[in-house]
Amino acid sequence: MNERLGTTFNKDNILVTHGSQQGLDLSGKVFLDDGDIVPCESPTYLAAISAFKSYGCSFIEIPTDENGMNMEALEEVLNSTENVKLIYVIPTFQNPTGKTWNLERPKKLTELSAKYNVAVVEDNPYNEFRFERETLPSIKSFDTAGNILCTGSFLIFCPGFQIGWITGDKDIIRKYVLVKQGTDLQCNTIAQMTIAEYLKRYDIDKHIRKIVKVYKKRRDITIKCMEHYFPDNIEFTRPEGGLFTWIELPEEISAREILSKCLERKITFVPCGSFFPNRNRENTFRINYSNMPEDRIDLGNCDWNIYGRFYYFSGFIGYLLLAYYLVKYPLNWS
């Protein structure tokens, strides 16, 4: 793990958790009280919003671009806002957008964390799912003040085991150990032993390469189809790894309306209004290409008549596009 993240941890710096989600919940227990403030990316992971909200905090959404969270906007918040106890970020293949920070933003974040003495939770469950370029070091690798914590999981091995981890300076990890004991005493021992035995017997890197090859192909097909078939007014991200891509429709189009029509064909996605803690952008949604067989992604054979009607359509992208036009032009369809 140290080699992959660019860190120098030992056993005193690591706590095994019941999935990476428990790491977020424990972070809320350790750092947050009623009225505290959590700056986060906009949008951000909806389950993190739920985990932190249960401890009475509020969120300030920090704008992002292709290179990650805007550090100038973050510093304005840190300089002008009281009770900022925790910053939450997903710098690699962000959920839900699939974006990855550049190398300068993590360095700046650690500087701000030290300057304003505020903790940072770096949520990093998708780090191994990289399709392009070299793996970037963890934000924790730049930490000199001991304020950065990093969470992850064994999602790359077997998501059903629900085994994760959180790393940080040993004094902070001791606090996590105490609050975890009040939650579940310990994680599933059988699952931990199974993972440990697998890591001893088999080549985890070979396993990762195999999975990444499959996911990359599905990502490539998904992006290629959207580039070819989507109209110019639909925007989407082109992730370098991870499991998701983010789609933004024209403002007048509701992703929930499209979802209701897709469900008729047993096609689903996640409308992204819930990924914004303070506002609701109903024209956005997230799709997950990781569990979709390649032959079910493509649009397939598609024809149009002069009225813009499909004669035939198939595949995930095909149904998605059909639903979009059904919502956008309801009077043209019967």
Provide the percentage of residues in the chain whose pLDDT is more than 70: 94
Higher-pLDDT residue of 137 and 304 is: 137
On whether the pTM is more than 0.85, the answer is: yes
Domain end position, chosen among 161, 183, 201: 201
Which tokens sit at 163?
Answer: 């085994």
172 with 301, same domain?
A: no
The band of 302, judged by pLDDT with boundaries at 50, 70 and 90, is very low
Task: Round the average pLDDT of the chain to a whole number and report it.
Answer: 90
With a cut of 80, say whether residue 260 has pLDDT above it. Answer: yes
Does residue 231 surpass a pLDDT of 60? yes
Residues 248 and 222 in one domain: yes
Is the same domain home to 194 and 215?
no
Q: Is the pLDDT of residue 229 over 90?
A: no
Same-domain status, 128 and 27: yes
Position 272 confidence tier, pLDDT thresholds 50, 70, 90: confident
Q: Which of 201, 216, 249 is the last residue of a domain?
A: 201
| 293 and 328, same domain (yes or no) | yes
Are 196 and 268 members of one domain? Answer: no
Q: Is the pLDDT of residue 267 over 90?
A: no
Say if residue 164 is in the same domain as residue 46. Answer: yes
Residues 185 and 72 occupy one common structural domain = yes
For the record, the structure tokens of 2 come out as 């140290």
Total number of domains in the chain = 2
Same domain, 196 and 218: no
Q: From residue 52, how far is each of 68, 77, 221, 300 by CA, in Å?
A: 21, 19, 36, 43
Residue 305 has pLDDT above 50, yes or no: no
Q: What percent of the chain has pLDDT over 90?
A: 73
Q: Are residues 142 and 77 in the same domain?
A: yes
Domain containing 314 equals: 206-332
